[in-house]
Structure 1
Amino acid sequence: MAGTKGGGRLLALATTLVLGLAACSGGGTSGKNNAAGTATSGEGPVKGGTLYILSNQDFVHLDPARNWTMRDMGFGTRLLYRTLTTYKAGSAEIVPDLATDLGTPSEGGKVWKFTLKDGVKYEDGTPIKAQDVKYNVERSFSPELPGGPNYAILYLAGGEKYKGPLKGEHLSSIETPDDKTIVFKLKRPVAEFGQTVTLPTFAPVPQAQDKGVDYDSRPFSSGPYKIEKYQRKAELILVRNEHWEPATDEVRKAYPDRIVVKQTVGGGTIDTRLIADQGPDRSAVGYVDVALASLPKVLSNPQVQKRMVSSVDGCTGLLYLNTSRAPFDNPKVRMAVQYAVDKEALQTASGGPQIAEIAGAILPPGLTGGVKRDILRIPPTGDVEKAKSLLTEAGVTGGLKIKLVTSTGGKPGAEALQTALKRVGIDMQIDLVEASAVGGITSDPTKAPDIQIGGWCPDYPSGSTFLPIIFDGRTITENSSGGNNSFFKDEEVMAKIDEISAMTDATAANKAWLDLEDLIMSKSPVVPYQWAKQNNLFGSNVAGAVGHPIWEGNPDLGVIGLKNPSLSQ
């Protein structure tokens, strides 16, 4: 998803920035921060002061039932609400959050029980109850509240026809025998359900505070901060939630007294201000990544470069080949494209090595134990002779004509791809449309082009949030790709997805996802071409800026703070 990149969501890579890989499902190559510098002088953050966040956009959603954009998920779950489990700072390691542990499975992983900690409270001092977590999970089923993660819908028993609690109906597969206990009954075993509940869907919302669609503008805080002011598309001000108890929270440090999000700062202006590092901007961090045009100014100045955190973002850039019709219904033609693509040229079009690393696999390193897999071992610039040979084997004579749809922002990458394919006799037409129209075209089975530039991000560190979403042909409907933008329907792959999804051992499942990735690559519905890097600037008074491997390498707002609070005024 994700015109802003999204965890487990389609990346509209061709519609944002150059290839869109610098825009919401992150991941360092080893699950760790790969920072150019996390603080300017080794000084750590201290309590107090105002942290400024400079942005050129409003949040897509802050309602935890609807929040499924990577930056916004990191913002919401670190500052405004807590989930049953969460991630360590700058790490993909799962730790308990509202729950006392990572969950207790039974019945072979089809039933999961969580117990809430003592002393967890909302911003008004009332205790957080298991029923409140149940209520928000139920809200995620509501058609009135679209846009959020769909894992509850996919996993919970009896959810197929459930339409949420707004009309008074509740879901029987979530039980709350008391205020501290919540039990989830699933359709099938989900070995990694303790990771699933890191998503905002599993944050608490007390029914008395629910305002339907208006809850988006004023979530009721269970985290370290609460909303003092929110003027949409202008400014958000957070202040401390005095009822948040640090003793119950091993992850969030809540260093600043206030956090002010300025949402009307142009993207280039953000970089200019943070490079200049004057006044309150010394205590600021960019909410969007550094613009391509600004990178030379950063990289040529060692003092500024120290103030940029740079991490592989955990998402994979993919070229989707439309397998539903000729010529890409032929696997040999698809494999020919694997060999024809010049990934170095696509990397250059994105902005070079500081913006992206060349990918040789579908799953990003954050899902493979930090290993950068190279499955087909094709040279980064391609293998023209091999591609031509494969086309000959496929019976292609006289070349091929195909079409790609993108926006102006995606034009440099599209042209690089066009040049590479032309070397092997594939003539690719580029149709430019409005950025807002790209997603509607590329995901529509009746309108989708032959090839498209896109990508995918995981929602949590499991292949289950990646391969089934984009390669299960059963997700395709009459009107939508369902995330499967190559329109790939393969019985062998779907059988393997079902087999792995039924596993109760998460370690065995992780190995099986890698084996499935090998199988999918042999059938070539997509060409993985890059793992993007996230580059974020921060002021000289900011400390603790570490890129988080799940939230696209964006700074972990749970541990960021100021060196000298008095400088933030």
Structure 2
Amino acid sequence: MRWTKVLTVGAVASLGLVAACGAPSTNGTGTGNASGDTGKVEGAAATLDPTAKGPAPAVPGAKKGGILTVSYATTPANMDPSDQFYQDTAVIFSLSHRALTTFVSRGDQQVLVPDLATDLGKASEDGLTWTFTLKDGIKYEDGTPVKAQDIVYAAKRSFDPDLAANGPTYQREFFKGGADYQGPFKGDKNWNGVEAKDDKTIVFHLEKRFETLPYFVSFNQFTPIPEAKDTKADYQLHPLATGPYMFDKYTPGTELTLKRNPNWDPNTDPARHNYPDGFHFKWGQDTVKTQTAILASNGEDATTLNWDAIDSSLISQIEGEKKAQFEEGPSSCVIMVNMDARKIPLPVRKAIAVANPFDSIHKAGGETSHSFSPASTIIPPQIPGHLDYEAEAAPGFKMNGKGDGDPAKAKQMLADAGYGPDKPFELIYYYTNDDDIAQKVNQVRKQAYEKAGFKVTDIGAPSAERRKLVGDPKGKMNMLQSPRGWCFDWPSADSIIPPTIGTIALSQGGTTFGNFSDAKIDSEIKRIQQLSITEQGPEWGKMDKWLTENYLLAIPDYNDKGNSVFGTKVKNVHNNPNKGMPNLTDVWLDQ
């Protein structure tokens, strides 16, 4: 899943993985885990429970009422469920939209459970057909029934090259005939990679085995959309809700308010609660001002939550008297310095790696060990098969997310590649120009690259526009395109490398690591995917190292950590270790 938080700067029983992170506290306010980096790397997990039923178990002591404000720095490009593949919008949609499956937190584990479906799907003996059956009594916010045809239509819509350019690409790779399908408006009207057998039965036809399909159908792209209600580009202004909340007022680029959905039936939902009366999401907010106000908790700030990385200026508070207002935990995300390999040759990409000022950028961004740890790999350490390595960008210069680079060495590398003062290599990228921290980070980055001999064209863009700009593969930039990083979609590397690298990842029409297509890369991905899930792990780890050493499409930067700062009246905030963000469906307010 595409990373967002500081964009400015077979499936038979389970995947068989170790549980993630420590159990959440029971004090109703979060763990207050402000102890910093312990150096311990724990495994990620998502076991399966096909028998889970609604309603979700009540949170002890929880009360109903109030409006929870969620105020943070970045801004969604849109709120179209077909297009959204970002961490923050996934959390928002978890309140308003239901899919075939979903995740619940049980102690220290994330568990996949049925949501709109009666179970986690039934696979044919050859694994090429999966069947899901809808529960009875599921309705949209307007009271009309959800039908299997609506799930099928939503799945088809996720192929549209315009409406779903930033969405996932697993469906193109795995669904029968998906590689060439262009969605319900432009595509083959007879395409039946997904079909409805009747009002309750959805069937997926696959090109090859997809053991983790039950995880995939928890995504926004499988939230139902009635074809008759689809207004194409305008659908994002008010997508029909099936969850406990529905859109109330939405101002693109600025804010979104949610109110209760009167037609949500908790008896059908094993995962969600509806404790607050509503939610108010504010985007493009100043991180330091927001976090400072939340910790003071005057007025509305006492019922506000922020999920940006904690600023270094506030560490003494969250390690001291404000410890109970801070939650820290594992994240699923590795952050990268992305480069367009179509426009930047490999020797220059290596020079960028040597010049990159990791430490100074973190300092300018106010980041601390509470919010990150240095990375040297594409696959995060908690994923099975992770291979611990530090590749060399130049003899004696290892890429490990540390230090401030070597500008003299980078300048010599550029000279060896044929570039110099009379023929500088130009780096072009977008940065957020309406955020103080982002501007500071940009100045550090720009000065370091210029010192190394690059010509830098930094294009300022407001937060409300930047996500769209960096997600356009035809854009002006040649680096720092989306994704800034990647968060695993489920705890296996088949949800990391295939959706971010190679021809199939590019086929959706959005940006990828490197924006690069290569037959050798495609062949290796295909080879590994033909193995069982357990056999795939070590092979993905080897491919991680091979990609970095031979292609360097993106420079590993850091392993993200989940941070939440919340007001004194915000209760039961717990970090989701498979997302690095809080489970908003469990939060309540003390009025």
TM-score band w.r.t. shorter chain: 0.7 to 0.9
CA distance in 2: counterparts of 1:144 and 1:385, whole angstroms: 42
Q: Which digits, 9 at most, give the CA deviation of each residue in 1:427-457, with x for residues without a partner?
A: 2333221225797589657954478796222
Whether contact under 8 Å (1:205, 1:220) holds in the other structure is yes
Letter paired with 1:329: L
Distance in 1 (CA, whole Å) between partners of 2:147 and 2:172 is 22
Count of matched residue pairs = 530
C-alpha separation in 2, matches of 1:427 and 1:471 = 29
Judge which range, 485-494 or 288-297, deviates more.
Answer: 288-297
**Partner residue of 1:428?**
454
SS in 1 for 2:555: strand
CA distance in 2, matches of 1:61, 1:144: 13
Structure-1 separation of matches of 2:444 and 2:482 = 11
Pair 1:559-2:580 in alignment = no
SS in structure 2 of the partner of residue 468 of structure 1: coil
Deviation at 1:509, TM superposition (A): 2.8
SS at match of 2:135: coil
Distance in 1 separating the partners of 2:381 and 2:26: 21
Matched residue of 1:432: which SS?
strand
Please, which moves more after superposition, 136-145 or 38-47?
38-47
Q: Which moved more, 1:308-317 or 1:434-443?
A: 434-443
The code of the aligned residue for 1:405 comes to I
Paired residue type of 2:559: W
Q: 1:456 aligns with which of 485, 500, 503?
A: 485
Residue 545 of structure 1 and its aligned partner are, at CA, apart by 0.9
RMSD over aligned Cα atoms: 4.4
Q: 1:316 to 1:50 in 2, by over 3 A?
A: same
Q: CA deviation at 1:299?
A: 3.5
Q: Which region of structure 1 is more displaced relative to structure 2, 314-323 or 130-139?
A: 314-323
Note the C-alpha offset of 1:52. 1.7
- Residues 449 and 456 of structure 2 are in contact (CA less than 8 Å); yes or no, is this contact kept in structure 1? no
CA distance in 1, matches of 2:273, 2:358: 41
Could you tell which deviates more after superposition, 183-192 or 401-410? 401-410
Q: 1:411 to 1:442 in 2, by over 3 A?
A: farther
Counterparts of residues 97-112 of structure 1 (less than 5 Å):
97-106=115-124, 108-112=126-130
The residue that corresponds to 2:290 in the other structure is 270
The letter of the residue matching 1:74 is: V
CA distance in 2, matches of 1:392, 1:210: 53
> Is structure 2 residue 496 aligned with structure 1 residue 466?
yes
Q: Distance in 2 between matches of 1:438 and 1:225?
A: 26
Which residue matches 2:377?
A: 361
Q: Does residue 239 of structure 1 match 2:260?
A: yes
Deviation at 1:540? Answer: 1.4
Aligned residue for 1:517? Answer: 544
Which of 311, 314, 321 aligns to 1:295? It is: 314
In structure 1, what is the equivalent of residue 36 of structure 2?
Answer: none
Provide the residue aligned with 2:50 in structure 1: none
Alignment of 1:294-373 (within 5 A): 295-296=314-315, 298-299=317-318, 302-324=320-342, 328-330=345-347, 338=353, 341=356, 343-353=358-368, 354-365=370-381, 367-368=383-384, 373=388
| Paired residue secondary structure (1:497) | helix
* Cα deviation code 1:226-246 (max 9, x no counterpart): 345556645514114354133
Whole-Å separation in 1 of the counterparts to 2:80 and 2:482:
30
Taking structure 1 as reference, are residues 197 and 481 closer, same or farther at Cα in structure 2, changes over 3 Å only? closer
The corresponding residue for 1:51 is 67
1:224 Cα deviation from its structure 2 partner: 1.9
Bigger mean CA offset, 168-177 vs 109-118: 168-177
The 3 A distance-change label for structure 1 pair 550 and 197 is same
Aligned equivalents of 1:314, 1:41: Cα separation in 2: 19
2:371/2:562 contact within 8 Å kept: yes
Identify the residue that residue 272 of structure 2 maps to in structure 1: 252
Cα distance in structure 1, aligned partners of 2:427 and 2:140: 49
Q: What is the aligned partner in structure 2 of residue 282 from structure 1?
A: 302
What is the rounded CA distance, in whole Å, between the counterparts of 2:255 and 2:425 in structure 1? 43
Alignment of 1:106-505 (within 5 A): 106=124, 108-142=126-160, 145-147=163-165, 149-151=167-169, 152-159=171-178, 160-164=180-184, 169=189, 171-228=191-248, 230=250, 233=254, 236-246=257-267, 248-256=268-276, 258-261=277-280, 263=282, 266-267=285-286, 269-286=289-306, 289=308, 292=311, 295-296=314-315, 298-299=317-318, 302-324=320-342, 328-330=345-347, 338=353, 341=356, 343-353=358-368, 354-365=370-381, 367-368=383-384, 373-376=388-391, 381=402, 401-406=424-429, 407=431, 412-413=440-441, 416=444, 426-435=452-461, 436=465, 440=469, 447-449=476-478, 455-458=484-487, 460-461=489-490, 462-472=492-502, 482-503=510-531, 505=532
Q: 1:394 to 1:217 in 2, by over 3 A?
A: closer
Cα drift, residue 260 of structure 1:
3.2
> Would you say the 8 A contact 1:344–1:358 is kept in 2?
no
1:367 deviates by: 3.9
Question: Helix, strand or coil for the counterpart of 2:202?
Answer: strand
Distance 1:135 1:507, change over 3 A: same
Aligned mates of 2:19, 2:414 — CA distance in 1 = 39
Unmatched 5+ residue regions in structure 1? 1-6, 20-28
Measure, in 2, the Cα distance between the counterparts of 1:62 and 1:275: 29
Cα contact 1:335–1:390 (8 A) shared by 2: no
What is the one-letter code of the residue matched to 1:350?
G
Aligned partners of 1:315 and 1:455 also within 8 Å = no
Unaligned runs of 5+ in 2: 10-17, 32-58, 392-397
Cα contact 2:333–2:560 (8 A) shared by 1: yes
Q: Deviations over 1:337-379 (max 9, x none)?
A: 656655434433332323322111112345448x794444756
| Greater shift in the superposed pair: 276-285 or 553-562 | 276-285
The answer on whether the counterparts of 1:314 and 1:365 sit within 8 Å (CA) in structure 2 is: no
Shift of 1:472: 1.1
| Gap change, CA 1:144 and 1:344, over 3 Å in 2 | closer
Cα gap change, 1:33 to 1:391, in 2 (>3 Å): farther
User: Does the CA-based 8 Å contact 1:361-1:528 persist in structure 2?
Assistant: yes
Task: Look up the equivalent residue of 1:308 and give its one-letter code.
Answer: F
Letter of the structure 2 residue corresponding to residue 537 of structure 1: V
Cα 1:341–1:112 shift into 2, 3 Å: same
Normalised TM-score (structure 1): 0.77
Could you tell me how far apart the structure 2 residues matched to 1:162 and 1:444 are? Answer: 18
Select which of 554, 565, 575 maps to 1:537: 565
Question: Does the CA contact (< 8 Å) of 2:358 and 2:404 recur in 1?
Answer: no
Q: Distance in 2 between matches of 1:306 and 1:372?
A: 36
Q: Percent identity?
A: 24
